[in-house]
């Protein structure tokens, strides 16, 4: 089953923002994206039903829809 253990990987990520419902992390230890199995650059986590993603430079991103939140991995 595809999943992402944010609690387990937390020490390998650096948190940039947290507004209560959304969080942004940067990958500082080559943590793998659960969708494509390559290291990602940024991880955006949202618990909102509707979210507008921050602008990016056109990089590929992967989406993981979990019961607690939606995880967006930018490469
Ligand atoms: Zn990916």
pTM of the model: 0.90
The Cα 16–Cα 36 span in angstroms is: 23
The answer, yes or no, to whether residue 33 has pLDDT greater than 80, is yes
Q: Are 66 and 54 in contact (CB under 8 A)?
A: no
The answer, yes or no, to whether residue 22 has pLDDT greater than 80, is yes
The Cα 42–Cα 16 span in angstroms is: 10
Q: Is the dihedral of CA 35, 3, 29, 75 positive or negative?
A: positive
The rounded Å distance from CA 34 to ligand 1 centre is: 7
Kindly indicate the confidence band of residue 1, based on its pLDDT and cuts at 50, 70 and 90. Answer: low
Per-residue pLDDT at 38? 97
The rounded Å distance from CA 65 to ligand 1 centre is: 13
Question: Which residue is associated with the tokens 């993603």?
Answer: 53
The rounded Å distance from CA 69 to ligand 1 centre is: 17
The answer, yes or no, to whether residue 2 has pLDDT greater than 80, is no
Question: Which residue is associated with the tokens 């607690």?
Answer: 68
The rounded Å distance from CA 74 to ligand 1 centre is: 7
The rounded Å distance from CA 37 to ligand 1 centre is: 6
């Amino acid at each position: 089953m595809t999943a992402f253990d944010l609690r387990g990987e937390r020490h390998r990520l650096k948190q940039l923002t947290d507004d209560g419902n959304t969080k942004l992390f940067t990958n500082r230890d080559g943590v793998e994206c659960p969708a494509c199995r390559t290291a990602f650059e940024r991880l955006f986590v949202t618990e909102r039903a509707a979210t507008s993603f921050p602008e990016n430079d056109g990089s590929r991103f992967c989406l993981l829809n979990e019961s607690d939140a939606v995880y967006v991995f930018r490469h």
